[in-house]
Amino acid sequence: HADVIRKFWQHYLPRLKYHNPAIPMTVDRTQTQSGPATLTIFFTQPTNPSDPTTPLPAPTSSTSGDTAPSASYVPTERTVSINMKHRTDAEILTQFMEATKATVVEATPEELEEMRELEEQGARSQRDSARSMEVNKQRKREADMLAQARGDIAAQAA
Amino acid sequence: MASAKTCISYLRNSPISLSFRPQSRLPLPIFLPNQQYRCAGGQTSANAAKYKRKDQGTQQKKKKARTTFIQYDLRDAEQFSLCDAMRYIRAFEVGRAPTSSKYELHLKLRTLKNGAVVRNRLRLPHPVKTDLRICVICPSDSKSAAAARAAGATIVGEDTVFDAVKDGRIEFDRCICHIDSLQKLQKAGLGRVLGPRGLMPSAKLGTVVKDVGATVKDMVGGSEYRERLGVVRMAIGQLGFTPEEMQRNIRAFVDGVKKDIAQLSDRIAKGIHEVVLSSTNGPGFSLNGEFRGPESVSTKELSTL
Asked whether the predicted pLDDT for residue A48 surpasses 60, the reply is no
| Chain B contact for A15 (CB, 8 A cutoff) | yes
Put simply, the answer to whether A24 touches B302 (Cβ < 8 Å) is: no
Amino acid occupying residue B77 = A
Average pLDDT, chain A: 81
Residues of B in contact with A110 (CB under 8 A): none
pLDDT of amino acid B43: 60
- pLDDT of the residue at A75: 64
Q: What are the angstrom distances between the C-alpha of B287 and each of A39, B80, B274?
A: 35, 5, 8
Q: Do A64 and B245 touch (CB under 8 A)?
A: yes
Alpha-carbon gap: A64 to the closest alpha carbon of chain B (Å): 5
Taking an 8 Å cut-off on Cβ atoms, the answer to whether A149 and B30 are in contact is yes
B300 interfaces chain A, CB cutoff of 8 Å: yes
Q: Which residues contact A89 (CB under 8 A, 6 or more apart)?
A: A4, A5, A7, A8, A11, A12
Q: What is the mean pLDDT of chain B?
A: 80
What whole-number distance in Å separates Cα of residue B133 and Cα of residue B220?
Answer: 8
Is B237 within 8 Å of B98 (Cβ atoms)?
A: no
Average pLDDT estimate for B286-293: 92
Tens-place pLDDT, residues A12-40: 999 999 999 988 888 888 888 788 888 88
Strands B174-178 and A38-43: unpaired
CB B226 within 8 A of CB B119: yes
Residue of B104 and B207 predicted with greater confidence: B104
Ordered DSSP codes for B232-286: EEEEEEETT--HHHHHHHHHHHHHHHHHHHHHS-TT---EEEEEEEEETTEEEEE
In 3D space, the residue among B146, B134, B129, B78 whose CA is nearest the CA of residue B285 turns out to be B78
For chain A, give me the number of helices (H) and strands (E)? 4, 2
Q: Are B152 and B146 in contact (CB under 8 A)?
A: no
Mapping DSSP to helix (H, G, I), strand (E, B) and coil, where does residue B178 land? strand
Helix (H) or strand (E) holding B174: strand B174-178
Model confidence band, residue A71 (pLDDT cutoffs 50, 70, 90): low
Number of H helices, E strands in chain B: 9, 11
DSSP B41: G
Q: Tell me what the mean pLDDT of segment B56-76 comes to.
A: 82
Quick check: A142 pLDDT over 90?
Answer: yes
Distance (Å) from the alpha carbon of A145 to chain B's nearest alpha carbon? 8
Q: B241 and A150: CB-CB below 8 Å?
A: no
Residue A147: is its pLDDT beyond 80? yes
Distance from CA of A25 to the nearest CA of B (A): 6
CA Rg, chain B, in Å? 34
Strand-strand pairing, B102-110 and B271-279:
antiparallel
Distance from CA of A152 to the nearest CA of B (A): 8
The reported pTM is 0.66
Q: Which of B241, B301, B303 is most worth mutating to test chain A (most A CB atoms within 10 A of its CB)? A: B303
Q: Does B302 sit within 8 Å of A149, measured CB to CB? A: no
Contact A63 B302 (CB under 8 A): no
Q: b/e per residue, B61-92, with b = 16+ CB within 10 A? A: eeeeeeeeeeeeeeeeeebbbbbbbbbbbbbb
Higher pLDDT, A77 or B72: B72
SS3 for B208? strand
Question: What's the pLDDT at B1?
Answer: 47
Q: Indicate whether B217 pLDDT > 60.
A: yes
pLDDT at position B140 over 60: yes
Question: Is the CB of residue B196 less than 8 Å from the CB of residue B94?
Answer: no
Q: Which residues of A touch B31 (CB under 8 A)?
A: 149, 152
Report which DSSP code applies to B31.
T
- Determine the pLDDT at residue A107: 86
Does B96 score more than 80 pLDDT? Answer: yes
Q: What is the DSSP string of A78-134?
A: EEEEEE-TT--HHHHHHHHHHHHTPPP-PPPHHHHHHHHHHHHHHHHHHHHHHHHHH
* Pairing outcome for strands B231-238 and B102-110: antiparallel
Report the distance separating Cα B162 and Cα B181, nearest Å: 12
Return all residues near A118 (Cβ < 8 A) that are at least 6 apart. Answer: none
Alpha carbons B203 and B210: distance in angstroms, whole number: 11
Query: Which of B91, B46, B21 lies closest to B279, judged by CA?
Result: B91
- In tens, the pLDDT along B9-22 reads 444 444 443 434 44
- Chain B residues in contact with A16 by the CB 8 A cut-off are 94
Residues present in chain A in total: 158
Taking only residues 243 to 272 of chain B, the set having a beta carbon closer than 8 angstroms to any beta carbon of chain A reads 245
- How many CB atoms lie under 10 A from the CB of residue A145? 13
The 10 Å CB-count burial string (b at 16+, else e) for B260-297 is: bbeeeeeeeebeebbbbbbbbbbeebbbbeeebeeebb
pLDDT at B130: 67
Size of interface A-B (CB pairs under 8 A): 80
**Contacts of residue B243, Cβ cutoff 8 Å, sequence gap at least 6:** B82, B83, B86, B291, B292, B299, B302, B303
Q: Is the pLDDT of residue B121 over 90?
A: no
